[in-house]
Amino acid sequence: MDSSIKACIEARRQAFAASYELTPEIEKDIDELFIKIEEFGKTCKDAMDFETKFAASQLNNAYTKMFTKVSQKCRVKQLDSESDVDDLLPESKGKRVLKEMNSEAKYLADDLASPMRRQARMEMDSKLRSTPLGKIEQARNTLWLFKKFKKTKKVEDEDLQQNESEN
């Protein structure tokens, strides 16, 4: 199984331990569920494939129902301070740094890709205009502009006539 899939599965497993004081009975049910999830993970090629397929699978429903069951039968862990969170998830500071770097990378990538998206959109619009639907759209837009111009011209003519009659 791909290591990124293992990380996705482990993160889901840790969500229970991080949030609840689990009973042995519930831990057994969670282990049984995660055996099925791990088998499912072996059928996927990478984390993206796993997440996409998992979201649409019955296992996702079972995972969600397990949270409901756990929340009804187990006590929520009380975390007194941020250090408790860091003790529970020691890599959290590193994860925060990675999230910030990821956010900055996304912003930079978006900034760099913006002109390319604009160019692609212009090329697509140009190609669309040469299709029959594009020709219909152009005709409709031209008709709309003509009607708008005609209304504007009519209002100007009426104003001009009013001014001449007042003088």
Q: What is the pLDDT of residues 63-73, one digit of tens each?
A: 888 878 887 77
Inter-CA distances, 142 with 122, 135, 146, 150, Å: 19, 10, 6, 12
CA 98, CA 7: separation in Å to the nearest integer? 15
pLDDT for 141 equals 81
H and E: helices and strands count for the chain = 7, 2
What's the pTM value of the predicted model, to 2 decimals? 0.47
Beta-bridged to residue 20, according to DSSP, are 76
CA 122, CA 87: separation in Å to the nearest integer? 52
At residue 92, does pLDDT exceed 70?
A: no
Residue 82's pLDDT band (boundaries 50, 70, 90)?
A: very low
